[in-house]
Structures are given as C-alpha cells and as structure tokens.
Homo-oligomer: A and B are copies of this chain.
Amino acid sequence: MIAATSVPDAVSKLGDGKEKRIVWLMLPSGTPTEIQIQDLAHMLSKGDIIIDGGNSNYKDSQRRGAFLAERGIGFMDAGTSGGIWGLENGYCLMVGATPEVAKTIEPILIALAPAKDRGWAHVGPIGAGHFTKMIHNGIEYGMMQAMAEGLDLLKGKEDLNLDLAQITELWRHGSVVRSWLLDLTADALKEDQELTAVAPYVADSGEGRWTVMESVEQGVAAPVLTLALQARFRSQDATGYSYKLLSMMRNGFGGHFVKSVGD
C-alpha cells in the first residue's frame, strides 16, 4: 500500500500511463462521485479504467460510462452489498461493464470477493451493476418493513406478553423467515427489546427511492417496496400535515371531535 496526498499524486503513483491504470472509487453518490470522475477523465489515458464502487444511480453510471468511452477510458459500476459486516460475513459485488473491462478486472474481483467465484458476478453492461444493487436495496427495504410490522404486532398483543428476543432467536432455527436480517434483529433485541434509546425515525438512502421511481417508469406495481419507503417518509414527518387535514375534514362533515395541539 502506497500513501498519496491527493488524487493527482495517487494517479501519478499508479505509473506513467504506459501500463493500464485502474482507479477504484468508493465515494458518496451524486456530486462527490461526479466531480471525481470528471477530474480523473483528464488525468487518465486511453485504456485506463475507473471503477465506481459506490451507490450511484445506474443512469449516472450509464452516462459516465458513455462519457469515458469517448475518451477511451473504461468504466465499471460495482454495487456492493454487505457493508461494514463484509470482512466478517462476506459481501457480494454486482458488476456492470463491457466484456473487455470485465475480463481485465476479473483477477481483482476474484481476489477481493470473499466467496471466491461466488461473491461477485458480471451481471451485464455498464449500469447493470448499480441497477442490480438498487433493486437489491429495494428488496431489503421490503424485507425489513415486513419484519418490523410483524414484530410490532407481536408486541401489540399485550395480553400474551411475548418475548420478542426469544421469538426472533427461535425463528433463526428452521423457520421460513430465517435470514441475515433476522439474525441481526434477534441480536439487537437481546439487549433492550423496548428500544428505549432509539428514536422512531428511519432515514432512507437514494436506492430505495430510485427503486420506486423505476417501478413508475416501468409501469410495474411494486406496492411493498413502495410502502416500505413511505413508512420511512412517515417516520421523518414531524408535522403530520396530512393528518391535520384529515382531522379537520372529519370535524367538517361529522362534527367529530378534533384533537387540538396540547390535548
């Protein structure tokens, strides 16, 4: 490993351009990735390759791939799942690239992917890697939401006084819902199943939103992926304007009691 103090410095240390240079970016999607790829386009030469290992929108990756191709620079979009647990639990790489670029990068992917010939796959042309990762995350949203709703109902059945840590641990052993998400959930519930310290606020990232937009663009119903995203939106909504509207309408037509702020 050789340290570098700047991107130009790093690029210079990759050699003088006589050999193929490969730059693997792991940056936040959007502007940071965009700027870096634009910059690198001027530092790199024909035959070099840029890999975007971040969570970019696949349309950006397609656009960037075309832009770099005009300059003779190769591009690979590599969606990564497994996150911070990768080292311990493995992770997988979904790769989009031309066959030529994929062939060049293959030895690196084999070296990187913990499950040798199974922890990565060249799933299609440029953009296919990030597209596949996007859908993966959409599914993840849906699975998480299914789990959260079910556990909410277990907890809500107060007269049975169920132990959610016990039940999720049990489900890990032979049930149909066994999954890595369940493993994590069972672990977390062992500590404090009331989740006293956790705020009822769920952030969302680009990929969940892009998946829903994709379903609109394709004209394909994806109610569960969509509602999972919208549950997060709800959790982020501190004002509840739509609820206020509903309460006001109810009062309007039925003289129903309106709960006032402060009640």
Binding site for B on A (CB under 8 A): 81-86, 89-92, 94, 113-115, 118-121, 123-125, 127-128, 131-132, 135-157, 160-163, 166-167, 169-182, 184-185, 187-188, 195-204, 209, 211-237, 239-263
Q: Could you jot down 30 A-B contacts, CB within 8 Å?
A: A81-B174, A121-B167, A121-B169, A123-B166, A123-B167, A124-B160, A131-B154, A135-B154, A136-B171, A142-B145, A142-B147, A145-B223, A146-B224, A152-B222, A152-B245, A153-B218, A153-B220, A181-B253, A185-B252, A188-B249, A198-B244, A198-B259, A202-B243, A224-B231, A226-B226, A231-B243, A232-B243, A235-B240, A235-B243, A235-B246
Residues of B near A155 (CB, < 8 A) are 241
Do B250 and A221 touch across chains, with their CB atoms under 8 A apart? Answer: no
Task: Tell me the nearest residue of chain B to A120, going by C-beta.
Answer: B170
Residues of B near A91 (CB, < 8 A) are 174-175
Secondary structure at the A interface, as helix, strand, loop or mixed, is helix
Q: How many copies does the complex hold?
A: 4
**Contacts known (A94-B167, A198-B247); A178 close to B176, Cβ less than 8 A:** no
Interchain nearest-CB distance for A29 vs B (Å): 14
Residues of B near A219 (CB, < 8 A) are 204, 209, 233, 236
Do B175 and A136 touch across chains, with their CB atoms under 8 A apart? Answer: yes
Do B195 and A245 touch across chains, with their CB atoms under 8 A apart? Answer: yes
Do A223 and B149 touch across chains, with their CB atoms under 8 A apart? Answer: yes
Interchain nearest-CB distance for A58 vs B (Å): 9
Additional 18 contacts, C-beta under 8 A, given A118-B170, A220-B233 = A81-B175, A82-B176, A92-B173, A94-B170, A128-B162, A132-B162, A139-B147, A142-B143, A143-B177, A146-B224, A149-B222, A149-B225, A179-B182, A181-B249, A199-B263, A200-B244, A203-B247, A226-B230
